[in-house]
Structures are given as C-alpha cells and as structure tokens.
Amino acid sequence: MTAQIEIAEVTKRYGALTVLDKLSLSIKANEFMVFLGPSGCGKSTLLRMIAGLESVDEGTIAINGQRIDTLPPGQRDLAMVFQSYALYPHMTVADNMAFGLKNIGVPPDVIATRLTEAARMLEIGHLMERKPGQLSGGQRQRVAIGRAIVKEPKAFLFDEPLSNLDAALRVRTRVELAQLRHRVKSTMIFVTHDQIEAMTLADRVVVMNNRRIEQIGTPMEIYTKPASRFVATFVGSPT
Ligand code: ADP
Ligand code: MG
C-alpha cells in the first residue's frame, strides 16, 4: 500500500526562528508532489519531519492515518534520497543497496531479486561490485535511487537529488525519474528550488516561501494562475 500523507497545522522552530508556521497539506497515494521554493524556506525541514528525522513542534503528520511520531523508525516504510547520495564508502554498490534490507531481515533470495530488478531498471548492473569512490556523480546518484527502490517503500522522499549533477546529466536524470515514476507505483515527494524540475515532474506543486505555503496546484495552474506575485516571479509566469 502506498502512502497517503496528512500534514496538519505543523509548526517548526529552531530556537527563536520559526521555520514553518501552521502548515497544512494533503498528499494523495501515488501522487508525485514537488515542494518548490527558494533556499532556506524550509523544504528540507518539512521533508525530514515527514521522514520522522526531525521533531514536530506543533501539529501532526500522519501516514495512512497513523501519526509518524507513534511509529518506530523501522515501520515508517519510507525511503529518502539525499542530494549528497549518502552512500557507505567502504561498501560495494551491491552491499550499499542490500544493507537496509539485511538489517530488517529480508531473505537473501528476495534481496537478490530486488537488486537485479533495480539494477536493470537503472542500468547499473555493471557497477554492482564497485565502491562509491569508483563511480561518477551520476552513477552514485543512480545507486542512491536504487537503494531506495529495493526497499519498496510506501513513499520516496527526494531532497534535491539532481542538484550535484552537471546540466546535461541533470536533464537526462530528470527524464529518467519521470519514467521511473510510471514503473514504480509509490507516493513521491520531491524537494527542489528549480522550477523546471518542478513543472516537468509534478502532479502537483507546493510553492513554499517565508514559513508558509504560497500555493498548491498542478504545474499548469501554478503557471497560468499564480496566486501571488511571489509565485508568478518564482515560476516565471507570463505577466
Ligand atoms: P531549504 O531546504 O528550503 O533550503 P531548510 O529546511 O534546510 O530550507 O532550512 C530552513 C531554515 O531553517 C533555514 O533558515 C535554515 O538555516 C534553518 N535550519 C535548518 N536546519 C536547522 C538546524 N538544525 N538548526 C538551526 N536552524 C536550522
Ligand atoms: Mg534543502
């Protein structure tokens, strides 16, 4: 079952700084939702709270009706892909991908099948015995996505996964992610400050700025009917 995620009146503070102020949002099962906004607006903080990696000061976040703070980390069933890839440098690609599965006791034959399928999908079969240091940035990024796919999570959480790639590879990987989305049935939340990524990947976009949500809508709605001057400027709508 994929994840339906309900964020209700969530507030987050770091000391005196309020990062998110009473933010509410519903994400549908199987939806590709993009959080778009300038650097520092709280996108990563919100994503980390959904993953249960960051505490919520006020309000609630629920996945399929269950509050994340009541779920032990092993049962949240989400997979996060970071901008920095966060691979284990001393492990091979295969071991990096298998590690999380071994930890939760998935049988070896199931792990092998999932690794083979993910490797085929991402075209990384020839890299499985290499270590991350022997891979290009783009290859590392695929491995990080592969490691998420093999978990068969209820939701994928991507935090600017393309921002360390050069321009050409960024475009190629963006296209591949769009295809992946149709092969892997799961809820996907994708954080970016890049409006082109948001517009090409999203079912719906959440435009964030200054501690709150400026607008939620399909790329077409956001582009043709921006709810504020900020949205219009940020997504480059015709004026
Ligand atoms: P974004 O991902 O949109 O760039 P972040 O969620 O990383 O934004 O950060 C939102 C705000 O919270 C920024 O002002 C940032 O400096 C601040 N912030 C993020 N994490 C911490 C932290 N652990 N301690 C203090 N301030 C933080
Ligand atoms: Mg961020």
What gap in Å lies between CA 161 and CA 87, rounded to an integer?
13
To the nearest whole percent, how much of the chain has pLDDT over 90? 74
What's the confidence (pLDDT) of residue 239? 66
* pLDDT tens-digit map of 47-89: 999 999 899 999 999 999 999 888 887 778 899 998 877 899 9
Ranking 2-6, 83-87, 124-128 by mean pLDDT, the lowest is 83-87
| DSSP reduced 3-state for 134 | helix
Strand 78-81 and strand 155-159: the pairing is: parallel
CA 167 remoteness from chain centre? 20
- ipTM of predicted assembly, 2 dp: 0.98
User: Does 39 sit in the ligand 1 pocket, CB within 6 Å?
Assistant: yes
Kindly report the pTM of this predicted structure.
Answer: 0.93
User: Does 45 sit in the ligand 1 pocket, CB within 6 Å?
Assistant: yes
**Mean pLDDT score of the chain:** 92
Task: Tell me which of 10, 13, 17, 19 to substitute to probe ligand 1's pocket, judged by most ligand atoms within 8 Å of the beta carbon.
Answer: 19
What gap in Å lies between CA 209 and CA 214, rounded to an integer?
6
Q: Please report the atom of ligand 1 found closest to the CA of residue 47.
A: 6
